[in-house]
Amino acid sequence: MSRISAFIEGLCRAGAFLSAICMAAIVILIVLEILLRTFFGFSTMVSSEFSGYLLVGMVAMSLGYTLQHEAHIRITLIWGVLPLKWKNRVDIAVAAVSVAVTGFALYHSVLLVQQTYSRGMTADSISETPLWIPQTAIPVGLFLFLLQLVNFILRRVRQ
């Protein structure tokens, strides 16, 4: 494994770690909300909003790690009957298309975060969360996914 590949996989592991933190934070928020409502008749009033932000972060940050372990859903009806040589070619072609689509999504997600930040947009809720903060998880996660797609292609080319 090359240094670049190891670096990308390390970044994706860090993304998975952040994803796990998001998941734990969601659980903590929900349990806290249940306890506060049950025993004190009080609500945080932001638990569902923040849980939504954390859910987006959890999914986005785990994309690269999921690909690293080839755990994304795959339709294998045709792919499963192909010889190894053709499986690699199909994998490379699909990953190349995925690079283009992910690059497009990454570019536009960065634009979204920039616009949200420059306009000072906040959540229309009691928290008034600056929306660029939770939105930042999307381009970061897509960037990790894009790096892992390139890494995936390079691994398949070497096979």
Task: Write the pLDDT tens digit of every residue in 44-61.
Answer: 999 999 999 999 999 999
- CB-facing half-sphere around the CA of 87: CA atoms within 13 A: 12
Asked if residue 141 has pLDDT above 80, the reply is: yes
In terms of Cα–Cα distance, which of 94, 92, 106 is closest to 155? 92
- Span 65-74, average pLDDT: 92
Nearest-angstrom CA–CA distance, 28 and 53: 14
Nearest-angstrom CA–CA distance, 117 and 122: 9
Q: pTM of the prediction?
A: 0.93
By the 10 Å C-beta count (0-12 exposed, 13-18 middle, 19+ buried), 36 is classed as middle
Tokens 């009033």 locate to 45
In terms of Cα–Cα distance, which of 59, 62, 142, 141 is closest to 99? 142
Q: Are 59 and 141 in contact (CB under 8 A)?
A: yes
Task: Write the pLDDT tens digit of every residue in 18-27.
Answer: 999 999 999 9
Token readout for 134 is 């939770």
- Span 112-118, average pLDDT: 99
